[in-house]
Amino acid sequence: MATLGIMVQNYFCLSFKDNLGTKDNLGHRGISELGGCVFCGADETVVHVLLQCPMAIASWSLFPAWAHFNTDSTEEFKMWFHGFAADHPIHELEKVMVCMWMLWFERNQMIWTGRHRSSTEVVSGAMYCLQEFQELHPPPKKHISRAKAKWLRPPTGAIKINVSGMFHVESSFGGVGLVVRNYTGAFLACKLVVLRGVSNPMHAKLVALREGLIYAAKWSNLDCHIEGDSQGALHSVQQGQADLSHLGCLIEDCKTLLAKQERVYLRFTERKANGVATRLAHYALHSQEAAEWVTDPPVFLQDVLFSDVM
């Protein structure tokens, strides 16, 4: 059944062009005079076989939702189908397409093998094919939370500081970036810090958090939301007990800074929603020079700042 989708697609391409090998079409091309519709003997056109033939009408009557099919239509099949597709959800459209394909398949079986099946058998056969096809080809899972990760403005009156820390193994250099924006998304300040003798990525990420906590003190009269993209670093700063690892001093610094500032809130954000701070940290690694911008952002940040507020 893996080819069902392709077969149905090909069939619809042909019927849109009214190129199916109906006897009417074959007759027009002088290929043969085969007589009428195999089901009822009437002139065999695409609209007839799929919509107007008693066999088609009996098949569609098995679906109460489609009882309103305008089967008297004399318009081109393509026009009819476009109208139908515009009014119906995709899962219904799939059923209709597979049923139409099955009607055509049944018509061919009657011609070539003389097999006769009832409208109930045609429709149940079509639904079985569709179900089997869908089981073999489940729709791709959507990673909603990742796909939609986006920077969000802080609540009215508050500011947000995004921080990012990076580490370059070969050189043992680290880069830290932080950016401050207000609740309208307007840029307030940003900063690069270059670190030497960094031992691992966590080291750089903890320094980034500490830089954010120090910088937040400049706006101590406002609520300040600090966002970092390292769950590990945030967790170690937020947990209660003392950290005895080699990064313990750094963690304790962060805890002290956090405890001193009542209006500072720490939270995790996806890397995708932390694009400006990430860009700054990269820049710090490459430039290897500390820098700070206030009021006007540097040119290399403008595109990421803009896309965050779009």
Q: Give the footprint of Zn ion on this chain (CB under 5 A).
A: 37, 39-40, 42, 53
CB of 52 to Zn ion, least distance (A): 7
Alpha carbon distance 159, 205 (integer Å): 21
Burial code (b: 16+ CB inside 10 Å, e: under 16) for 19-44 equals: ebbbbbeeeeeeeeeeeebbbeeeeb
Nearer to Zn ion, 40 or 127 (CB): 40
State the nearest-atom distance from the C-beta of 43 to Zn ion, in Å: 9
- Comparing CA positions, the residue from 115, 7, 124, 99 lying closest to residue 49 is 99
Nearest distance from residue 18's CB to Zn ion, in Å?
17
Closer to Zn ion by CB, 40 or 186: give it: 40
Write down the least CB distance from residue 53 to Zn ion, Å: 3
For residue 215, count CB atoms less than 10 angstroms from its CB and return exposed for 0-12, middle for 13-18, buried for 19 or more: buried
Judged by beta carbon, residue 72 or residue 262, the one nearer Zn ion is 72
C-alpha distance from residue 230 to each of 187, 202, 233 (Å): 23, 8, 5
210 vs 252: CA distance, rounded Å:
10
Instruction: Decide whether 26 or 188 has the Cβ nearer to Zn ion.
Output: 26
The residue whose two tokens read 């027009």 is: 28
Of the pair 26, 186, the CB lying nearest Zn ion is at 26
Instruction: Write down the least CB distance from residue 44 to Zn ion, Å.
Output: 7
Please, which residues have CB within 8 angstroms of residue 139's CB and are 6 or more apart in sequence? none
